[in-house]
Amino acid sequence: MALRGQLLRLLRTQHRHTCQPSRAQSVAVLGAPFSQGQKRGGVEHGPKVIRDAGLIERLSCLDYSVHDFGDLDFHYLEKDEPYMGVKFPRTVGAANKMLSGAVSRGVGAGHTLVMLGGDHSLAIGSVSGHAQQCPDLCLIWVDAHADINTPMTSPSGNLHGQPVAFMLKELQDKVQDIPGFSWTKPFLSSRDLVYIGLRDVDPGEYHILKSLGIQYFTMRDIDRLGIQRVMEVTLDSLLARKQRPIHLSFDIDAFDPSLAPATGTPVNGGLTYREGIYITEEIHNTGLLSAMDLVEVNPVLGANSEAVEATASLAVDVIASCLGQTREGAHRSINVIPSEKNDTEQLCL
């Protein structure tokens, strides 16, 4: 088993995914300041506080050219009545349609795409836009919540708890024609999805996970197996059949609230810093990360400025680790040992 895992990791470093024949040398950062997928205001400010925490400077210290494409300009409809209990369906649908097109263009241009949310309903647009360019992608969902409720099983009607249901082919007959979503159709198979960090799953979601045989790891599983084994099984499950692009959708509430307090639905007993960064390091090491989401940073919900800064800084660490920052250093390529530092190099220390 250990030898098989070593061989698979070697193959993953040698093969690249179909929509990007070699690891992208550029990163596109795209802000999605949107909050209508849930009820708590403030999450629309997530992209700004993540940038303010030094994201662009951190990424510039890695071996990429970094392009900050700014924030999308979403429009909130004045009249957007609930439909079958789903709240703000037309507004959320329109926002995701806009985001899908932007992500598709970014990935199609050869960038590794980083989407800054916003709430997690935005994953509908982010993952579907990625899938337009990379239809064979797989999805790693790191979150305290499964976000796989259908409109009929959702206790709240909030769409940030339903995005995965809109993606899965197996749930096509369970997600009715919701206003605002005629532009998208299910595109992902349940075997192309793995969850990590679950600890607050609704009854309907639990039934879906079990009935579809979706691979998932709760925090109990992480305690029992260890994060190294969890990542081995995750990557083998998704990549053993063939090498393909990875979409990582990372909700900051996957971490324990002591580390990420400024978020809308915190749940005790989450990932430690070391576990979260190990996940992202292993994903980077595959050479197959093509796009990622970092969502649900809400500065309004931080008890004080320190709580907001800690959450935003953690988001920057997650993104940078996905893109090659390691706990051994950033490993920016250099040809000679410099005799003196310029201002840019000082930023990268």
Q: Give 190-240 pLDDT, tens digit per residue.
A: 999 999 999 999 999 999 999 999 999 999 999 999 999 999 999 999 999
* Adjacent-strand bridge partners of 66: 27
Q: For the chain, what is the largest distance between any 2 Cα atoms, rounded to a whole number of angstroms?
A: 66
Question: What does the alpha-carbon distance between residue 325 and residue 258 come to, in Å, rounded to a whole number?
Answer: 23
CATH code matching the domain that covers 2-15+24-326, chosen among 3.10.20.600, 3.30.1540.10, 3.40.800.10, 3.40.190.10: 3.40.800.10
3-class SS at 174? coil
What's residue 328's pLDDT?
Answer: 78
The values of phi and psi at residue 56, to 5°, are -65, -40
Residue with tokens 């990360």: 289
CA angle 277, 278, 279 (to 5 degrees): 90
Number of Cβ within 10 Å of residue 331's Cβ equals 11
- Residues 45, 111, 160, 247: which is the catalytic one? 160
Q: Give 145-164 pLDDT, tens digit per residue.
A: 999 999 999 999 999 999 99
Residues contacting residue 234 through CB under 8 Å, at least 6 positions apart: 140, 194, 196, 215, 217
pLDDT at 276 over 70: yes
Q: Give 156-190 pLDDT, tens digit per residue.
A: 999 999 999 999 999 999 887 899 999 999 999 99
Instruction: Let me know if 68 is a catalytic residue.
Output: no
What's residue 20's pLDDT?
Answer: 52
Q: Domain segments of the chain: what residues? A: 2-15+24-326
Instruction: Let me know if 147 is a catalytic residue.
Output: yes
Q: What percent of the chain has pLDDT over 90?
A: 82
- Residues 71, 253, 256, 293: which is the catalytic one? 253
What's residue 176's pLDDT?
Answer: 75
CA angle 141, 228, 117 (to 5 degrees): 25
The sign of the dihedral angle between the CA atoms of 151, 160, 128, 239 is negative
Q: How many CA atoms lie within 13 A of 163 on its CB side?
A: 27
Q: Give 310-340 pLDDT, tens digit per residue.
A: 999 999 999 999 999 998 765 555 566 666 6
- Residues 80, 143, 205, 282: which is the catalytic one? 143
3-class SS at 24? coil
- Residues 145, 202, 205, 284: which is the catalytic one? 145
287-316: average pLDDT: 98
pLDDT at 241 over 70: yes
Instruction: Let me know if 143 is a catalytic residue.
Output: yes
Q: Give 70-124 pLDDT, tens digit per residue.
A: 999 998 888 899 998 999 999 999 999 999 999 999 999 999 999 999 999 999 9
Are 104 and 64 contacting, i.e. CB atoms less than 8 angstroms apart? no
Amino acid at position 166, single letter: F
Residue 25: pLDDT band with limits 50, 70, 90 = confident
* Adjacent-strand bridge partners of 76: none
Instruction: Let me know if 296 is a catalytic residue.
Output: yes
- Residues 71, 119, 205, 251: which is the catalytic one? 251
Mean pLDDT of the residues in the chain = 91
